[in-house]
Amino acid sequence: MTVSYALLGLLEEADRHGYDLKQSYDRRFGASRPLRFGQVYRTLAQLQRDGLIEIAGLEAGAGPDRKRYSITPEGVTDLERWLSEPEDPQPHLQTVLFQKVVLALQSGRNAEAFLDTQRDRHLAVMRELTAARRTAALQDSLLADYQLFHIEADLRWIDHAAGRLETLAAEIQL
Amino acid sequence: MSPPMLTGAGLRKSFGPVPALRGAGLSIEAGEVLAVMGPSGSGKSTLLHCLAGILTPDAGEVIFDGQRIDRLGDAQRSRLRRTAFGFVFQFGQAVPELPVLENIALPLLLAGQRRRAAMATAARWLPRLGLDGLGQRLPGELSGGQVQRVAVARALIAGPRLVFADEPTGSLDSVAADQVMELLVDIARAERVGVVVVTHEARVAAYADRRLTVRDGHVAQRATVP
């Protein structure tokens, strides 16, 4: 799911070949989990079917690598929507949040606004859970606590990242 | 709509050359629990101290019950803090030499109530605080969470209109912190007392009806997305 948006984000920056996309993705997001080529081309085919990207040019030679892809206006709209919508708190959300921050910064969008919106969503869920756990039996209240501590960890990361956006932006532009 | 119980507007305060507040403001209604969040050094505690009449702002105004309180003299402000406001801080509020009961009764004693009546009122608070049978203990014999519950009781016992809490759970584990916040919020809502709680912990802010963030001496305006 987030791989498609990452690829859209990279294509918004510049038209690229599939091979290029994989390299850029791995450098930026794939430190622990590089993309497989098959996954790149499957995702590109899907994005193209959905009208979010198109082929900008074909170069002489054979194989999928000859195609240069570019993002369509629909693709930009879809990417914008994804970036501006906060995610529901859930375990293992960090990679998505991280990806959104990097994509927002690289494209000159307001990463701080994204983090603010995300913080609000997290705090709203915390408030609901805190209210619910007060009347709950211990089992349910402990389950709510589990979620609360995870959300808290996300929030700490959000605040931590918000304080370092300028440095991160400079690093990404390198 | 009735006007807010307390409003601070355009508040500025510097310590030497360092500005801590640069035009901060907020309002709070009766019975509302408001969380003020922000990174360390953002000015959130200074804001609380200006609103509560502990510090005098360099500029701006604080209006409580329709009356400017930032220009009152020391004696008047001190009386206001004793009669209309309650305070919970992170550390050091319990008088170590006094037993729990007397610590709780302190605001009533300072207000001139007779000792016997004040102690009887304080004793009625003990079960609610989960401190039954501990009234004669000294604060040093209690856990951190128990001491903070004593602090909450002391902030509320004289029937204040507003309670200012500065990192009230800062030194507690999460279970003790929950107990302190539940106590504070339940009593405040039942008695329509406003609460301004300064905290850097989201878990504490989650008890509030509303939340503001202070950054660089301002109450942060929300950035818009994208």
The reply to whether A132 and A172 lie within a common domain is yes
Q: List beta partners, residue A16.
A: A69
CB atoms within 10 A of CB B4: 18
| ipTM exceeds 0.85, yes or no | no
pLDDT at B96: 93
pLDDT tens-digit series, residues B184-194:
999 999 999 99
Model confidence pLDDT, tens digit, residues B106-148? 999 998 999 999 999 999 999 999 999 999 999 999 999 999 9
Tell me, yes or no, whether A27 and A92 share the same domain: no
For B6-219, the fitting CATH number among 3.40.50.300, 1.10.10.10, 3.40.1030.10, 3.20.19.10 is 3.40.50.300
Same domain, A61 and A102: no
Nearest-by-Cβ selection for A114 from B201, B222, B225:
B225
Domain that includes residue A134, residue range: 85-174
Compare CB distances from B182 to A104, A122, A134 and report the shortest one's residue. A134
Q: Please tell me whether residues A113 and A74 are part of one structural domain.
A: no
CATH code assigned at A27: 1.10.10.10
**Phi, psi dihedrals of residue B207, rounded to the nearest 5°:** -80, -15
Examine the fold and report which residue of A84, A108, A132 is the final residue of a domain before the chain moves on: A84
Domain boundary (A39, A64, A84) is at A84
Q: Does B206 touch chain A (CB under 8 A)?
A: yes
Q: Does B207 touch chain A (CB under 8 A)?
A: yes
The answer to whether the CB atoms of B206 and A126 lie below 8 A apart is: yes
One domain for residues A69 and A117: no
Q: From A101, which residue of chain B is nearest by alpha-carbon distance?
A: B226
Q: Mind listing the pLDDT tens digit for each residue in A104-132?
A: 998 889 999 899 899 999 999 999 999 99
Same domain, A110 and A151: yes
Q: Are B79 and B107 in contact (CB under 8 A)?
A: no
User: Do A92 and A78 belong together in one domain?
Assistant: no
**Long-range pairs, B73-80, Cβ under 8 A, ≥24:** B77/B53, B80/B53
Token representation of residue A8: 């859209």
Q: Could you tell me if A70 and A90 lie in one domain?
A: no
Whole-prediction pTM: 0.80
Which among A84, A110, A142 is the end of a domain? Answer: A84
Total structural domains within chain A: 2
Helix (H, G, I), strand (E, B) or coil at B35: strand
Q: A142 and A120 in one domain? A: yes
Are residues A138 and A74 part of one domain?
no
Query: Nearest residue of A to residue B220 by CA position?
Result: A116
The number of C-alpha atoms within 13 Å of A43 and in the hemisphere containing its C-beta is 20
Strand partners, A13: none
What mean pLDDT is predicted for residues B16-41? 92
